[in-house]
Amino acid sequence: MRLFTSALLAAGASVATALVPAMASDTATQPKAASPIYGVTIPEGYRAWQLVAPAQEAAPLDELRAIVGNTTAIKAYQAGTLPFPDGTILVKLAWKHTQSPEFATASVPGAATTVQIMVKDSKRYAATGGWGFGRFVNGKPADQAQHETCWGCHQALVADRDYVFTRYAP
């Protein structure tokens, strides 16, 4: 990748100029749904991000979950950096907790339920600990009432860990 990046850099501004209009055009034709209050969108490529930890949520939600983070997030976790730096993005994927069809004692992901996102931007989200929140169902943001609940809970329960519940599972 380093060689490839260098090649791109060496090619210089002409490449950048060629790429930017194409990206802007794609965004214009397929606008991304943003969460109420925070304007958080589903980040590109998050499904390939590194795992922070799995989790389980009991009934009534009854879910298996996995929290992944972008490179900034993972570096901060591994170095024990608190608060998380600006640019940190955490994504929680959730699925219905479902009996494995092949193995009696195992449970596995069923239908996908929500994708929930935290984005660190200490200036933009100064009023909510530096975090913006997004909760999506089938790619569509949940309503404003749901987004009004995010910050109060994170603030009340995990203020000592920069408002992040999930610990890195080694």
Could you tell me the smallest distance in angstroms from the CB atom of residue 102 to its own copies?
A: 5
How many residues belong to the site for its own copies (CB under 8 A)?
41
Let me know: does 43 contact 70? Beta carbons within 8 Å. yes
Report if residue 4 touches its own copies, rule: CB under 8 A. Answer: yes
Tell me if residue 126 falls in helix, strand or coil: helix
Cα–Cα distance, 170 to 164 (Å, whole number): 17
Work out how close the CB of 165 gets to its own copies at its nearest, in angstroms, rounded to a whole number: 6
**Does residue 48 belong to the site contacting its own copies (CB under 8 A)?**
yes
> Judged by CB under 8 A, does residue 121 bind its own copies?
no
Residue 46 as a binder of its own copies (CB under 8 A): the answer is no
Helix, coil or strand: residue 97: strand
Out of 24, 33, 61, 82, name the contact with its own copies by CB under 8 A. Answer: 61
By the rule CB under 8 A, 93 interacts with its own copies? yes
The helix (H) or strand (E) run that includes residue 34 is none
Q: Which residue reads 């590109």 in tokens?
A: 44
